[in-house]
Amino acid sequence: MTVVIPFYGDPFDTEQLIATLRQDGPACLRQIIVVDDASPVPFPESVQGDPGSLPVLVVRRPVNGGFGSAVNSGLEQVQTPLAVVLNSDIEITGADLDALVEQAMPWQPVVASPQVINHDGTPQWSGRHFPTVLHQAVEWLTPLARFRHLPVLHEAVGHDVAASQASEPTPVDWVMGAVMLLPMDQVRAVGGFDEDFHMNSEEVDLQRRLREHGVASMVFPSITVPHAGGGSSDPLKRRQWLVDSRAHYARKWGHPRVLKGSLVAATGVNFAVNTVRQLMGTDVDARAVLRQELELLR
């Protein structure tokens, strides 16, 4: 297989990840491809290392296109049957990668993920349900945030709770993009990632198209890998990208007007609750939050 790492920002995490994979020497790994997505700090050529070390190819994009575009640029260079897409802030070893390939082999072609966790051991919900309007409306309701540690709320926003608790390989609707083992023939057959998604939902869309070609998605819970997440972009930009990406997903897979109307209604609920909280002395500007949420939805 080949590892593909989209890169933007500080090179440190990516350099550390490459060093770990080189040191562990996973038997299945043939090449690492780093895609520099027009980063303000260019990824250093020096990481390619000695001629005898695991080869690293640096692909430099002239403009920033987001996650899907960067991964597509890397996948174009892949010459192995399998590719693993890794976020730069994932903590994964060569043994983890070998285990993922080995355990997924009887299920191929399949999109496979280990169980991705936070550093405190809590799940990042590697397996998820295909998004619905209800999932996204519930997630938009900020008054529910205090209850989101409850399994019922995780299910309500689309997390596959059963998959997070499983001990055996578990089929899911889709796996998160932090670690994704991809069957290259099938990914190429469906055209790779849709580059109209800048960030978020692109891996859902790809797996939904693969599902129509008989390719399942699975979580392999015996392999656990920590992931930091969200470290290379501004939080406000990330929220706007999330809203825009989900709107594009809805246009492709149905009910964009229902989604927008539901989120506007949820914004009204948020405003009503925030108004009461403000009147009771909580440090919140209900009107400012209302304006911000409506601006995101435009």
- 3-state SS assignment for residue 202: helix
CA dihedral 177, 183, 189, 195 (to 10 degrees): 20
Q: How many CB atoms lie within 10 A of CB 121?
A: 8
Among 238, 228, 229, CA closest to 200? 238
Q: How many CB atoms lie within 10 A of CB 189?
A: 14
Average pLDDT over residues 263-268: 97
pLDDT at 2: 97
* pLDDT tens-digit series, residues 120-178: 999 999 999 999 999 999 999 999 999 988 999 999 999 999 999 999 999 999 999 99
Q: Which fold has domain 2-125+160-231?
A: Spore Coat Polysaccharide Biosynthesis Protein SpsA; Chain A (3.90.550)
- State both tokens at 181: 């083992």
Q: How many CB atoms lie within 10 A of CB 196?
A: 16
pLDDT at 54: 86
* pLDDT tens-digit series, residues 31-58: 999 999 999 999 998 876 666 678 999 9
pLDDT at 52: 67
Starting at the earlier edge strand, list the strands of the sheet with 56-60: 56-60, 31-36, 2-7, 82-86, 179-183, 110-117, 216-226, 170-172
Hey, what amino acid is at 240?
Answer: Q
Spacing of C-alpha 159 from chain mean position:
13
Helices (H), 178-219: 184-189, 202-211
Residue 231 above 60 pLDDT?
no
Give the angle 160-98-213 at the CA atoms, nearest 5°. Answer: 50
Average pLDDT over residues 261-289: 96
pLDDT at 233: 57
- 260 CB burial (10 A radius; 0-12, 13-18, 19+): middle
Instruction: Please report which confidence band the pLDDT of residue 88 belongs to, taking 50, 70 and 90 as the band edges.
Output: very high
How far is 202 from 205, CA to CA, in rounded Å? 5
CB 56 within 8 A of CB 79: no
Spacing of C-alpha 81 from chain mean position:
22
Q: How many CB atoms lie within 10 A of CB 52?
A: 6
Ranking 49-63, 112-126, 262-276 by mean pLDDT, the lowest is 49-63
Average pLDDT over residues 248-271: 96
Higher confidence at residue 199 or residue 213? 213
pLDDT at 49: 63
Residue 68 above 60 pLDDT?
yes
Task: Please write down the HEC assignment for all residues of 20-55.
Answer: HHHHHCCCCCCEEEEEECCCCCCCCHHHHCCCCCCC
pLDDT at 30: 93
Among 127, 121, 115, 207, CA closest to 162? 127
Run of H or E including 112: strand 110-117
